[in-house]
Amino acid sequence: MTFATLGLIEPLLRSLETLGYQTPTPVQAQAIPAVLAGRDLMAAAQTGTGKTAGFALPLLQLLAMEGPKVTANSVRALILVPTRELAEQVHEAVRQYAENLPLRTYAVYGGVSINPQMMKLRSGVDLLVATPGRLLDLFRQNALKFNQLQTLVLDEADRMLDLGFSEELANIYRALPKKRQTLLFSATFSDDIRLLAGQMLNDPLSIEVSPRNVAANTVKQWIVTVDKKRKPELFVHLMRKGKWKQVLVFAKTRNGVDALVEKLQGLGINADGIHGDKPQATRQRALDRFKASEVQILVATDVAARGLDIEDLPLVVNFDLPIVAEDYIHRIGRTGRAGSTGEAISLVCADEVNLLSAIEMLTRQTLKRQNEPDFEPEHRVPDTDASGQVIKKPKKPKKPKASGGGGGKRNLGKWVDSGEVAPAEPSIKPVRKVPVFNTGPRKRKP
């Protein structure tokens, strides 16, 4: 199968040739003809599957081939994304695909001045990438009209709900024309997402590509157990021992990111951090410098790094395990992309045994332990396996110190509900036509 057989027009094929895309990925093979045919889509696909081209290519083709010329302050296609970085990334991809088409594209997001965005929108744009909050601001200030809108894309819809954007989505939804094409992409399909889909989609085609736990197949994964307080020291030790060149490191909290960056910089290591508290310009600069290999270690929270496409990243380190097991798959998906091999190392302390167990259950594997001499933990991390069991070993009679790591006290599965430890193959259940958006307050900018 080629992009030409999927029905793409010549200007797009030329762009793809320039980019070196030869064969459509599975999500592209399914999405492109369906979007060209005008269908609504509900797609279970995460970053790394080629989903951006899956919706952007046919969208650009429809914009180029059909519909009226865009008028002042109007937008013909809207792509909603959860974060500013993702807005930049998706827009950059769109820009490359649209290189040979006479279309105007643009990205708007918060954290930067709104005035230049208002100016830019005056003459109208064919395709706008936006985060929900800034989009609404622009709409309320009459900088945007939706009367010409023909297609809406919700990208990373699950993350938009996680970030508390349900109210903004409801308000946007109310402002959009009822007759339009809607494409929804989500890595997971919780009840909230199905409700959202029920509200927004019309007879959608369901697409499901490579179950999310398969994404990790090209990534060599292992863990090192260590006491919590020795994690920074172990990280530096492993970095020097492995002569790591470029590493994306995930920490659980913003404070955790700052503390590790400070520690590394104090040792003269070229490190930077991104999290939701940092101004957008600082985040983007750190990311750009990391992509350009000017920064060796980038430490990030899950939200800041979600969906980012960084080419040829050989190594991801989980300084802390993620609270939600599925984030483990997103994190390690930053390496081993497009068939290349990558490595993902997790530093695991005894407190994190239940998180480890949930990850192993979700990915259906027992992560290999490779302990580091001199860093063996005083608080042992109980054994785990892919069945979701924390295996409690009988205490050795002669050991004077309590070395069970508190394993006997822990209660497996309490931290996450059964819906989050998702079945291995996410099934897209039929959508329900019921009102949505009252999914409750959620935290913004974790």
| Residue showing tokens 């009209």 | 145
How far, in Å, CA of 10 to CA of 14, rounded? 6
Only segment of 17-25, 107-115, 137-145, 370-378 that touches ligand AMP (CB under 6 A): 17-25
Comparison of 47 and 213: residue with beta carbon closer to ligand AMP: 47
Instruction: Compute the least distance from the CB of residue 136 to ligand AMP, in Å.
Output: 25
Instruction: Compute the least distance from the CB of residue 62 to ligand AMP, in Å.
Output: 19
Only segment of 49-57, 129-137, 234-242, 343-351 that touches ligand AMP (CB under 6 A): 49-57
Instruction: Compute the least distance from the CB of residue 45 to ligand AMP, in Å.
Output: 7
Q: What is the dihedral of CA 94, 100, 105, 106, to 10 degrees?
A: 70
Comparison of 23 and 341: residue with beta carbon closer to ligand AMP: 23
CA nearest 6: which of 31, 33, 43?
A: 33
Q: What is the DSSP letter of 74?
A: B
User: Judged by CB under 6 A, which of 30, 35, 36, 50 binds ligand AMP?
Assistant: 50
User: Judged by CB under 6 A, which of 15, 29, 35, 47 binds ligand AMP?
Assistant: 47
Only segment of 43-51, 264-272, 351-359, 408-416 that touches ligand AMP (CB under 6 A): 43-51
Instruction: Compute the least distance from the CB of residue 22 to ligand AMP, in Å.
Output: 6
- 53-72 residues near ligand AMP, rule: CB under 6 A: 53
CA angle 130, 132, 133 (to 5 degrees): 115
Q: What are phi and psi for residue 142, nearest 5 degrees?
A: 60, 25
Q: Which residues pair with 207 in a beta bridge?
A: 43
Only segment of 16-24, 69-77, 108-116, 219-227 that touches ligand AMP (CB under 6 A): 16-24
Tell me how far the alpha carbon of residue 28 is from its chain's centroid.
18
> What is the residue type of 231?
K
**CB neighbours of residue 409 within 10 Å:** 7
Sheet of 219-225, strand order:
271-274, 297-300, 247-250, 315-318, 342-348, 219-225, 368-369
Residue 21 interacts with ligand AMP (CB under 6 A)? yes
Instruction: Compute the least distance from the CB of residue 215 to ligand AMP, in Å.
Output: 10
Residue 377 interacts with ligand AMP (CB under 6 A)? no
> What is the residue type of 144?
L
Site string for ligand AMP, 266-305 (x = CB under 6 A): ----------------------------------------
- 407-436 residues near ligand AMP, rule: CB under 6 A: none
How far, in Å, CA of 247 to CA of 308, rounded? 14
* Enclosing H/E stretch for 191: helix 191-200
Instruction: Compute the least distance from the CB of residue 99 to ligand AMP, in Å.
Output: 14
Q: What are phi and psi for residue 124, nearest 5 degrees?
A: 85, 150
Site string for ligand AMP, 328-357 (x = CB under 6 A): ----------x-------------------
| Residue showing tokens 């793409």 | 8
Instruction: Compute the least distance from the CB of residue 135 to ligand AMP, in Å.
Output: 21
User: Judged by CB under 6 A, which of 309, 320, 327, 352 binds ligand AMP?
Assistant: 309
Tell me how far the alpha carbon of residue 233 is from its chain's centroid.
29
- How many angstroms separate the first and last alpha carbons of the chain? 41
Number of H helices and number of E strands within the chain? 15, 16
DSSP 99-148: TTS---EEEE-SSS-SHHHHHHHTT-EEEEEE-HHHHHHHHHTTS-B-TT
Only segment of 41-49, 62-70, 131-139, 225-233 that touches ligand AMP (CB under 6 A): 41-49
User: Judged by CB under 6 A, which of 36, 48, 148, 306 binds ligand AMP?
Assistant: 48
Comparison of 151 and 357: residue with beta carbon closer to ligand AMP: 151
Cβ 35 vs Cβ 53: under 8 Å: no
Tell me how far the alpha carbon of residue 307 is from its chain's centroid.
3
Instruction: Compute the least distance from the CB of residue 1 to ligand AMP, in Å.
Output: 10
Comparison of 49 and 190: residue with beta carbon closer to ligand AMP: 49
Instruction: Compute the least distance from the CB of residue 56 to ligand AMP, in Å.
Output: 8
Residue 166 interacts with ligand AMP (CB under 6 A)? no
Cβ 349 vs Cβ 409: under 8 Å: no
Only segment of 21-29, 251-259, 264-272, 314-322 that touches ligand AMP (CB under 6 A): 21-29
Q: What is the DSSP letter of 253?
A: S
Residue 4 interacts with ligand AMP (CB under 6 A)? no
| Residue showing tokens 């989609």 | 201
Instruction: Compute the least distance from the CB of residue 310 to ligand AMP, in Å.
Output: 9
Instruction: Compute the least distance from the CB of residue 400 to ligand AMP, in Å.
Output: 53
| Footprint on this chain of ligand AMP (rule: CB under 6 A) | 21, 23-25, 28, 47-53, 309, 338
